Chain A
Amino acid sequence: MAVATETQFHVLAVDDSLLDRMLIERLLKTSSYQVTTVDSGSKALQILGLQDDQTNSPFVSSDQHDVEVNLIITDYCMPEMTGYDLLKKIKESSSLKDIPVVIMSSENVPSRINRCLEEGAEEFFLKPVQLSDMNRLKPHILKGKYKEQHQQQVLQDDSITSSNKNSNKRKAMDDEISPEMTRPRLTSSLTVL
């Protein structure tokens, strides 16, 4: 995978159990992710910049929450705000909806799993989460990154070019990422030619 920079991906892990937070943090760090753990959905939303009064986008920001999160992994069963509630809030937010979300649960309840997947969760991990599960995260992160960079490209292009180019890009955005995709990797600071 050709990447322009050697940046570590940042995962936000949400779980009300301290033991499980310790575990998921170790699993993620072992897999070379940068990790932030929080013990509730509301704290997660705070970190993501959603609880504030300001409307801020974590990708194009210069405010207090200059945190870019590439993936959110959350427990399902949590008091006050469940993982499902958190997922919904994220998907309802224009600035956060493209961040991939993975749900974890100790219980294998098909209706629960389907509900989460239908709401936009990328995957459902059964607890205890294994090291091998970490390998399943990267494709979702890359898809999210592609959407993010693509959106920025679209915004840039909209301001200088015709709509003709845009229709092609919009189509590409809906496609699954294929290994043959040779689109150049863009950094968040785009140069306008």
Chain B
Amino acid sequence: MEVACLQRRFIDLTATIFQQEILDSQFTQLQQLQDESSPNFIHEVVSLFFQEAEKLLNELSKALDQQIVDFKKVDAHVHRLKGSSASIGARRVKDVCIAFRSCCEENNKDGCIQHLQQVNQEYYLVKSNLEDLLKLEKQILASGGSIPTMK
């Protein structure tokens, strides 16, 4: 595919992602931290986020599956997920986590289960968008083009 076309798609995808607040300015910060001395930084950090998030979502699912829910434990996992998503700029995931924690504080099992569903949705949304974005970047670079800088 032509470089210009790829770059166009990259710009459009980035615009959509930020418009919908799937990612926020924290992600832009991270992009700025990637340079020649650390060319794989984004890839590493994103991979780590996926790993951590999926582990936490698993733990949350198990914890909420119990007859008697340990809300402290659930809250600890959500707190962790909130931190990771904030660090990477996954805004919508972070926002759901904040609401999720309120349910934990209220020992509201149904609310927690609902929020777990929501956070799963938001996570997979940000995951697929990030994967598409990074794939486009790779293709652009492979075609000898440069990544358009946003803002």
Residue in A26, A77, A127, A131 whose beta carbon sits within 8 Å of that of B86 in the complex:
A127
The residues in A between 6 and 43 inclusive whose CB is less than 8 angstroms from any CB of B are: 17-20, 22-23, 26-27, 29-30
Interface residues on A, range: 10 to 19
Q: Contacts A26-B38, A106-B86, A131-B32 known; A17 to B80 CB distance under 8 Å?
A: yes
Q: Does B52 contact A (CB under 8 A)?
A: yes
Q: Is B107 an interface residue (CB 8 A)?
A: no
B139 within 8 A of A: no
B110 on interface, CB distance cutoff 8 Å: no
Are A26 and B80 closer than 8 Å at their CB atoms?
no
A139 at the interface (CB under 8 A from B): no
Quick check: A30 and B33 within 8 Å, CB to CB?
yes
CB-CB nearest in chain A for B88: A19
Residues on the A chain within 8 Å of B32, using CB: 131
Pick from B26, B48, B52: contact of A128, CB under 8 Å:
B26
Q: By the criterion CB–CB under 8 Å, are B82 and A106 in contact?
A: yes
Q: Is the CB of A131 within 8 A of B45?
A: no
Contact pattern, B 28-68, Cβ under 8 Å of A = 1, otherwise 0 = 01101101011001001100110010000000000000000
Across the interface, name the chain B residue whose C-beta is closest to A130. B29
A19 and B87 contact, Cβ closer than 8 Å, known pairs A26-B38, A128-B26: yes
CB of A163 to closest CB in B, whole Å:
51
CB of A33 to closest CB in B, whole Å: 14
| A89-B32 Cα distance, complex, nearest whole Å | 36
Chain A residues with Cβ below 8 Å from B120 are: none
Query: What residues on B are CB-neighbors of A22 within 8 Å?
Result: 44-45, 48
Query: With contacts A106-B83, A127-B87 known, what are 18 further pairs, Cβ within 8 A?
Result: A17-B52, A17-B80, A18-B52, A19-B49, A19-B88, A20-B84, A20-B87, A22-B45, A22-B48, A23-B30, A26-B38, A30-B33, A77-B79, A106-B79, A106-B86, A128-B26, A128-B86, A131-B33
Which residue of chain B has the shortest Cβ distance to A75 in the bound complex?
Answer: B83
- Give per-residue flags for A38-78: 1 if the beta carbon is below 8 A from chain B beta carbons, else 0: 00000000000000000000000000000000000000010
Partner of B87, one of A23, A29, A30, A131: A23
Bound-complex Cα distance A27 to B45 (A): 13
Chain B 77-98 against A: per-residue CB contact (8 Å), 1 yes, 0 no? 0011011101111000000000
C-alpha spacing A89/B45, complex, angstroms: 32
Contacts A17-B80, A128-B87 known; A26 to B48 CB distance under 8 Å? no
The contact sample of 26 A-B pairs, CB cut-off 8 A, is A17-B84, A19-B48, A19-B49, A19-B52, A19-B84, A19-B88, A20-B87, A22-B44, A22-B45, A23-B30, A23-B45, A26-B33, A27-B33, A29-B38, A30-B33, A30-B35, A77-B79, A106-B79, A106-B82, A106-B83, A127-B86, A127-B87, A128-B26, A128-B29, A128-B87, A130-B29
